[in-house]
Amino acid sequence: METNQYMDMFLDESHEHLQSLNDGLLGLEDNAEDLSILNEIFRNAHTLKGMSATMGYNKIAELTHEMEDVLDMLRKEQLAVTGDISIRCSSV
């Protein structure tokens, strides 16, 4: 697939999703129990993963997949939201 024609769109949308991820993480500082914030962060990571994979940016797709795994554990309360979440990323 010719990705050059989609690069500007990818960069613009990636910036928006990264900003939303950042805003969500800052929101968790104030309200670590808010599941809606975790869900929003997860959706942004999921979208970034799909966009990156489509563009052939496999390392970004792998990283965001690892993010989804951690976020899913947080959503299922298998991991607590703290200032120091240390999970070893296996693929990145």
> Would you call 78 helix, strand, or coil by DSSP?
coil
Nearest 5°: CA angle at 7, between 3 and 12?
Answer: 150
Q: Is the dihedral of CA 81, 82, 83, 88 positive or negative?
A: negative
CB atoms within 10 A of CB 41: 24
Q: Over 70: is that where the pLDDT of 17 sits? A: yes
pTM over 0.75: yes
**What is d(CA 4, CA 55) in angstroms, rounded to the nearest whole number?**
9
Q: Over 50: is that where the pLDDT of 67 sits? A: yes
Query: In the numeric block, which tokens belong to residue 11?
Result: 């960069």
**What is d(CA 27, CA 39) in angstroms, rounded to the nearest whole number?**
12
Residue 42 is part of which domain span? 4-75
What domain count does the chain have?
A: 1
Calculate what percentage of the chain has a pLDDT beyond 90.
70
Within a domain: 14:
yes
Alpha-helical segments (H) within 31-57? 35-55
Within a domain: 82:
no
CATH of the domain at 10: 1.20.120.160
